[in-house]
Structure 1
């Protein structure tokens, strides 16, 4: 690379876990500025355009816009500025791997606001936000588990909104859990723990949680009944399970609310289901 590096990225992103790139939009990275005396970040601006090393992965053709944006000669991320600590700056939404070089940091200005900009919209993200806002107020109890927490965006939000509750997040990759812990630390959320583990073999004792959530996760699994039985094992007899699943996005099997209802009943739950915004909302209890 002929460009002069002005900084380095520190996070827990890797070639393996960056394949779930949309989840990284809410994750936090540290940028260490090196060899530059001028202040590149200012509290006058909430967002910045950061030019960085390209990702060492390729996405499917259906997501080619990600390849063009982040996997070509260079990557360009629009980030939200969080705060400064010495010569290290914390930002949210940097699509760069740990150790990547930074080449330019530009303020996102009024010149960049284009009201009628045209681009393919991701309706799934909008529906996720609506689902989160609807479900979070319903979560009560001493211990809450978020199964398939990804990069912990929802898990941290639950813990921040309910500081007197112990919140746990679980997902397969330890590297993801390290990033979750980093996100929570920078956001100052302490009532939360992240543990690597499988939905088929949760690393918790029987009847441990008052509430368990699964958001947009179960449709990724090969054996949903096995996962539901394992979730039931760690749920208290008086506990509740809240699940949200897309109807129009699936892998091998498309499931509607009635299909989810049958799966839960077969796994030994009583269940309420409803449909809204092309999503199945499922509430299970024992």
Structure 2
């Protein structure tokens, strides 16, 4: 079984690539290959101009990697962790202390620098881990589901930091299951399913595929949505069923489409609890791919 097949993309300096997909889609495998943690059986990949197989040591000098789990020593303070890692990267004691202090200040961790990491909140641990990734001044940063387990406030703080890093010219490859995260951060989005790319474009371009607006029809009973979807598809309207709410979601390009859809549902004598017309979101794109059978769990 192939973990990845025919995956191809390029990311320029200062750009953020969001890699979307369910568990098992191939996101972590992709990061592992590009960061030289796993050797690919076939294909080619280059990071900062270096082949990940023949120039692995050169690639590692130019990248930073943050996984879902922080690579910090809980028994050490935040400052001690950063100084230790900087020394392992070859910095002198003075250089290590100066770089650690610089990063702690940049990530608003100076006041907590002397505390043991085991006392840190989830957001503080994530910021410290991200600071550790920057000790070697990387050109490319791989973030594998970095916001996992964070509360909304900590997520927003992390997003601000990631945007700031991209603004400094660092290329960011971000894997996530959170559509809002990709929509907020990514310049470009790659959607993976079963190791293959099923969509790749800017968030705006992906949303344009669904039409200028999105119609959502909510029903009192789940079976109403199934029945309505069959009727709408019979008329050639590209609707999908939201598996969480049972609502029918479909792209519309004007009032005529809205009227036609509502009239079709009414002809089936299906009670509509709510009719809503909105601008499409990246989540709508993902649901449409899922409804078309292009994304699977």
Common topology (TM > 0.5) = no
Write 1 or 2 for the structure with the bigger share of strand.
1
The alignment's TM-score, normalised by the length of structure 2, stands at 0.26
- Looking at both structures, which has the greater relative contact order when contacts are Cα pairs under 8 Å and sequence separation is at least 6? 2
Write 1 or 2 for the structure with the bigger share of helix.
2
Q: Which structure has the bigger radius of gyration? A: 2
